[in-house]
Amino acid sequence: MALTGTSMTETGGVRAGYGVIEGPEPTDDMPSEVLPEGCHTIVLGVGDLNGILRGKRVTAEHWRSVRRRGISLDNTFFAMDVGSLLVPNDYSAADSGYPDLNILPRGPLRPIPWEDGVWMCLGRAQEKTGEPIPLDPRQPLLRAVEKARSMGLEPRAAGELEFYLLDPATGRPRENRPECYGLARAAELEPVLGPVRRNLAAMGVPVEQSNPEFSAGQVEVNLRHAPTLEAADHTLLLRGMIKQMVRPMGLVASFMAKPFHDRSGNGFHVHHSLWRDGRNAFATDGGLSDEGRWFLGGLQAAMRESSLVGSTHPNAYRRRKLYSYAPTSASWGVDNRTVALRVIDGEDAADDPIVRIESREAAADCNPYLLMAVQLAAGLKGIEQQIEPTRPTEGDAYAADNRRRLPTDLHEAMEAARASAFLEEALGPMMVDLLIRNAERELEIVESEVTPLELARYLEVM
């Protein structure tokens, strides 16, 4: 359950909001050789298959060498599961000897405000020969962005992520009473969320707003629109850095899709738009343009077969319940939170900058690069092939007779992914194979476990 924040100012008769304020273009260029004053440590990391930051901490004395040569990691880490075990794959197989790959610094150095003298830099993965890594989740998004640019379009995106703040001793929220959007609860959370917002801003991650969410202990943080590559970086950093920030405060931040059966799941909503010559290509007189409608049609057409990308683990499918604010069908509508694809439009041409499409299907624990890559590729295919969406859903999508049902479990999502030529084209066959193998492992682990609920229900009475 999320509201979209937009800073609105009048500029030449057109409201400036989503997508108009330009941030620095994401770059693979090396950061400066000269470190900020007082810097003694640089954190260099990238996101793995599950969007977990992995890398190394580098001393300032070693920075010049790392800037030139990168750091070396064995070639298994992109294919690690959530338990840091290697998921079998053809790239990092034992017969290769698990050789090194290189992570080179890219983009700006970012301060880590809660660690004095420590700065951070995201990395660019490559082989020793300079070739890209086929299992690097950022590669499909780079290709999708390049495709958009070849069509004369600049993609922009913004993430909204939900998560729980938990007591590490109990693994449960400390609050029992939900206060969705409650300002009293927001004030109680400010000693935690205030530093989170300010620290992320200092790191160049543009947070627009935060609020208590639908369930007790659940919060949401909304990011500002940015070029799509940068938006994925922002999401990766938000997840990784929030977890680090709240630990010293005596809390655990969990983006797990559905940690509690009796509370809301955690979603990852992505707002998309495409820009041409400084104008929103999705918009015409405040409504959805032809290109925007076709992009929507592409998203809708690919949603079922792409489900594995946004809901990677068995637990994620527990989110998909009726009246849960998580969609159960590949439906769309205008400003409708019961659908999977929510169109946000305006009243007239002055509102063109805010017109966008919000995809609400994914879980908060998926990989942001892979998710945005698949969604952008699907939308661009929609434009190329002029794919028309279905009729919009008006009112309750949960009650509608919608034949475009989304997978209800990981078995079903894997079947759809295996049959998808689109997914193989968007991500590459090796990445799709890794996602499926990872899902198979997670299913095996979860389905072989005897749960506490089963013991409590059956052990004594049977």
pLDDT at res. 323: 79
Computed on alpha carbons and rounded to an integer, the radius of gyration of the chain in Å comes to 22
Instruction: Inform me whether the pLDDT recorded for 10 exceeds 50.
Output: no
Whether residues 117 and 255 fall in one domain: no
Q: In total, how many domains does the chain have?
A: 2
Residue 282 has pLDDT above 70, yes or no: yes
**Inside any domain, residue 11:** no
Asked whether residue 24 carries a pLDDT value surpassing 50, the answer given is no
Q: Are residues 397 and 331 in the same domain?
A: yes
User: What average pLDDT is seen over the chain?
Assistant: 90
Instruction: Give the pLDDT of residue 180.
Output: 84
Same structural domain, 300 and 415: yes
Domain final residue pick, 67, 97, 130: 130
Lowest mean pLDDT among 50-64, 289-303, 420-434, 445-459: 445-459
Residues 341, 440, single domain; the answer is yes
- By CB neighbour count within 10 A (0-12 exposed, 13-18 middle, 19+ buried), where does 425 fall? middle
Whether 359 maps to a domain, the answer reads yes
pLDDT digits (tens, 9 = 90+) for 348-401: 999 989 999 999 999 999 999 999 999 999 999 999 999 999 999 998 888 887
At which of 95, 130, 165 does a domain end? Answer: 130
Q: What is the pLDDT of residue 425?
A: 96
Its domain, for residue 95, covers 41-130
Residue 29 confidence class, pLDDT cut points 50, 70, 90: confident
167 and 257 inside one domain:
yes
Give residue for tokens 């068995």: 314
Report how far residue 36's alpha carbon sits from residue 16's, in angstroms, rounded to the nearest whole number.
Answer: 34
Q: Are 426 and 378 in contact (CB under 8 A)?
A: yes
The answer to whether residues 179 and 72 belong to one domain is no
Do 301 and 355 have their domain in common? yes
Say if 249 falls within a structural domain.
Answer: yes
Mean pLDDT value across residues 32-45: 93
**pLDDT for 97:** 87
Rounded distance, CA 106 to CA 129, Å?
18
Any idea what the CATH number is for the domain that residue 110 is in?
3.10.20.70
More confident residue, 460 or 439: 439
Q: Is residue 86 part of a domain?
A: yes
**Cα dihedral 373→374→380→386 (10° resolution):** -170
150 and 122 in one domain?
no
Hey, CA dihedral for 231, 194, 172, 81, is it positive or negative? positive
The pLDDT confidence band at residue 219, using thresholds 50, 70 and 90, is very high
What is the arithmetic mean of pLDDT over 82-91? 92
- Does pLDDT of 17 surpass 60? no
Q: Are residues 156 and 95 in the same domain?
A: no
The residue among 73, 100, 130 that closes a domain is: 130
Inside any domain, residue 211? yes
For residue 175, the domain's CATH number is: 3.30.590.10
* Secondary structure (3-state) at 380: helix
Label residue 27 by pLDDT band (50, 70, 90): low
Q: Do 358 and 424 belong together in one domain?
A: yes
Residues 319 and 395 in one domain: yes
Asked whether residue 461 is assigned to any structural domain, the reply reads no
Residue 340, both tokens: 């999977």
pTM: 0.92
pLDDT for 278 beyond 60: yes
For residue 293, being part of any structural domain is answered with: yes
214 and 326 in a single domain? The answer is: yes
In a domain, 345, yes or no: yes
Quote the pLDDT of residue 21: 40
Digit-coded pLDDT (tens) for 293-349: 999 999 999 999 999 999 999 999 999 888 778 888 999 999 999 899 999 999 999
